[in-house]
Amino acid sequence: MQKINKLQKDLKIKFKNESLLIKALTHKSFNQKSNNEKLEFLGDRVIGLVLSKKLFDLYPNESEGVLDKRFARLVNRKTCCDIAWSIGVQNYIIIANYKKRITRKDEKILSDCCEALIGSIYIDRGYDFTKSFILKVWKKNIDKSDITILDPKTKLQEYSLKLYKKLPLYRLIGSSGPKHNPTYKICVSITKSRKFIGVGSSKQEAELNGAAKLLRGINIS
């Protein structure tokens, strides 16, 4: 309870129902029936609504495609992981292995917990409060959203289509680790290139890392 009070103080939020906050911090490895998965589902949608409306207002002249790219950068796993880490959530996550120390490598656990936290705030304090909280903790990321940077997969796709009129090939070649924290290996290639292997805690992350490796391999920055 003392730790929960400290987190509320750090977040500058006093929950009306503290059990919601505890559930948001509870990983399914600790409790299969009462964990943060449903709150994560809800939080993901609330984050999406708030940030998509913010981008809609910030960039009234942008096309849907460009807005979608900006949005993807704001809500992807890495960004949610970074947000969770920046507000100190890693110190309060409840997992089965109580001796385990959550690190930045636990990207999925941190990202899921970030979304679950937003879901719990939404249920406890309502939309307007949650919107203000999201815009505050995402502020630096929103400020950087005016810089259009292509992610490696998009860059590789554009390069491959331009030169060869073909899409890059992504093939899952292996997965390992426990269900709650898996590691995937993806083989990436384009016409006239050798194959590169990307590794990540999700298939998407592995594909991004593989695409980035291939781009470096053909000297495309």
Active site residues: 44, 115
- Are 209 and 151 spatial neighbours (Cβ–Cβ below 8 Å)? no
- Beta strands 169-176 and 196-200, pairing class: unpaired
Report the alpha-carbon angle 122-48-147, nearest 5. Answer: 130
CA distance 32 to 27: 8
For the CA atoms of the chain, what is the radius of gyration?
A: 19
| Cβ pair 133, 13 in contact under 8 A | yes
Buried b (16+ CB within 10 A) or exposed e, 39-74: bbebbbebbeebbbebbeeeeeeeeeeebebbbebb
Torsions phi, psi for 184 (to 5 deg): -115, 150
Distance of alpha carbon 167 from alpha carbon 157, whole angstroms: 6
Contact 168, 178 (CB under 8 A): no
